[in-house]
Amino acid sequence: MNWKEQYKSFLWITGFFLFAYFMPIEGETFKKAVIDAFVLAKWYAQEHVLLCLIPAFFIAGVIAVFISQNAVVKYFGGKAKRWVAYSVAAVSGTVLAVCSCTILPLFSSIHKRGAGLGPAIAFLYSGPAINILAIILTARILGFELGVARVIGAVTFSVVIGVIMAYIYRDEEKEKTAAQLVMPEIEDERPFWQTALHFFILVAILVFVNWGKPAGETTGFWYFMFANKWFITTAFGLAYAASMIYIIKVNKWYILAGTLFVALAGFFFYETPTIAFIAAVIATTLSLTFSKDEPNQWLGETWGFARQIMPLLGAGVLVAGFLLGSAEGNGGIIPKEWISTLLGGNSLWSNFFASFAGAFMYFATLTEIPIIQGLMNSGMGKGPALALLLAGPALSLPNMLVIRSVIGTQKTVVYVSLVIVMATISGMLYGTLF
C-alpha–C-alpha distance, residues 207 and 57, integer Å: 14
Give the distance from CA 324 to its chain's centroid: 20
**Closest Cα to residue 317, out of 390, 391, 401?**
401
C-alpha–C-alpha distance, residues 30 and 324, integer Å: 12
pLDDT tens by residue, 227-280: 899 999 999 999 999 999 999 999 999 999 999 999 999 999 988 999 999 999
Which residues does 138 contact at the CB level (< 8 Å), separation at least 6?
A: 146, 147, 150, 369, 389
Rg of the chain, C-alpha, whole Å: 22
pLDDT at residue number 385: 87
- Mean pLDDT of all residues in the chain? 80
pLDDT tens by residue, 11-57: 878 988 888 888 888 888 888 888 888 887 887 788 777 887 788 78
C-alpha–C-alpha distance, residues 54 and 69, integer Å: 23
The amino acid at residue 300 is: G
The amino acid at residue 328 is: E
pLDDT at residue number 256: 95
Calculate mean pLDDT across residues 83-101. 69
Angle at the Cα of 170 (from 165 to 172), degrees rounded to 5? 105
C-alpha–C-alpha distance, residues 118 and 157, integer Å: 12
